[in-house]
Amino acid sequence: MLNKLITGDLEQLTIGLEGDGKKDELIRQLDSLIIGQSKAKVALVEAIIWAASEIVPSRWPVGVFLFTWPTWVGKTETARAMAEILFWDPQGLTIIHGEQLAEAHTKYNLIGSPRWYIGSDKQPFLCKEIYKPYKKAQSNWSLHPFIKRFNGFNILLFDEADKMHPEVWQTLLGVLDDGRIELAVWETVDFNTSIVIFTSNMGMQAVRDMENKGCVWFLPQDKSREAKKIMRSELKKFSPEFLGRVHSIVEFDNLSRGDLFKMMDLHTGKINAVLQKMDVNFPEVQLDVSEDVKEFVVDKWYSWEKGARDMMRFFRTKVERVLGVVINSWPGLEEYSDYTIR
């Protein structure tokens, strides 16, 4: 229910809700899964709360977002975490990769091929199967209260959308405008209870080209500032028709050193949670990673250009391999009841 007070201006309109407690609860759940990126979290949560409020029936998707800027700072993971909260399923997010739609003919991967044509027996990406996570959660009684009233709900992510062919974009405009799409087999799929997210690293290559030509930034913040300018100018390559249908363009932040440490702590916590669920006869093993190891991993493997991908891959493989050695050292495992990687 809306309060009478509406604060803000035309650029940033904030609606005071009596349900702010529910909003804060959802954001806290996201904070437990994703480090930083508060703008994206707030955008997703407010879209879900708006849809659940039933202020007006909508023929558009619940939210259409463009997540931009650096690679591997949490764009896909933020969407995945939101789906996990809503469906209680880490696999609840539907992901379509941009490189799968890079050619003109790949638009038929979205809507299917006409009958009797090659590929007509293949199920298109945008079929009613995208609501499978919702139905699974519904049957398991694990749907989040905010989406229980819907007949279906899904979060659809187009990863690296800037790689998609213009004809594919033209096909998607119907989804973004009317909240529905007609498949080649004369079947209509509704998206008015969907969140549609596009991610883009557009501008990263331009920054790399500048560096290859000898451009040097003396401070990291100078590089980040100049890179964001390039990214904003590169967004003009998206068609006005598409940008006009996007509800919000969310610029993701670079990860700070503290954020990187928290990411490693988060992954360590997940490992410890798995260890606690192991066989009751299994001695309790708790993993702890020292600050020196975290410092080494960040210094050695984190880079602005690649984000945290290489760093987290190295951290996961090393930590999990060491832990595998420890676990497989049974029956002499008692001495490792509190194991620290130094």
Query: 282: which DSSP letter?
Result: S
Please report where in the chains the tokens 């941009």 appear, as a residue. Answer: 98
Q: How far apart are CA 268 and CA 316, in angstroms?
A: 9
Residue type, 154: N
Q: What stretch of H or E contains 314?
A: helix 309-327
Question: What is the CB neighbour count within 10 angstroms for residue 153?
Answer: 26
Q: What stretch of H or E contains 159?
A: strand 154-159
- Name the maximum alpha-carbon separation found in the chain: 66
Q: How far is CA 100 from CA 125, 163, 301, in A?
A: 11, 9, 29
Residue type, 209: D
pLDDT of the residue at 20: 61
Contact of 131 with 154, CB cutoff 8 Å? yes
Please report where in the chains the tokens 């407010």 appear, as a residue. Answer: 46
Beta-sheet strand order (sheet of 94-97): 94-97, 154-159, 194-200, 63-68, 248-251
- The residues near 107 (Cβ < 8 Å, ≥ 6 apart) are 101, 165, 167, 168, 170, 171
Contact of 78 with 67, CB cutoff 8 Å? yes
- 246: which 2 tokens? 């996007």
Q: How far apart are CA 256 and CA 36, in angstroms?
A: 9
Query: Could you say which residues of the chain have pLDDT below 50?
Result: 1-18, 218, 280-281, 336
Q: How far apart are CA 250 and CA 198, in angstroms?
A: 10
Q: How far is CA 204 from CA 41, 68, 246, 251, 260, in A?
A: 23, 10, 22, 13, 21
Tell me the backbone φ, ψ of residue 156, rounded to 5 degrees.
Answer: -115, 125
Q: How far apart are CA 126 and CA 172, in angstroms?
A: 10
- 220: which 2 tokens? 């990291």
Tell the burial category of 307 from Cβ atoms under 10 Å away from its Cβ (0-12, 13-18, 19+).
buried
What confidence tens digit (pLDDT) does each residue in 151-196 have? 889 999 999 998 999 999 998 988 888 888 888 777 788 888 899 9
Q: What stretch of H or E contains 39?
A: helix 38-53
pLDDT of the residue at 14: 45
Q: How far apart are CA 42 and CA 30, in angstroms?
A: 10
Contact of 301 with 311, CB cutoff 8 Å? yes
Q: How far apart are CA 163 and CA 98, in angstroms?
A: 5
pLDDT of the residue at 157: 94
pLDDT of the residue at 39: 92
Contact of 69 with 228, CB cutoff 8 Å? yes
- 195: which 2 tokens? 């969140």
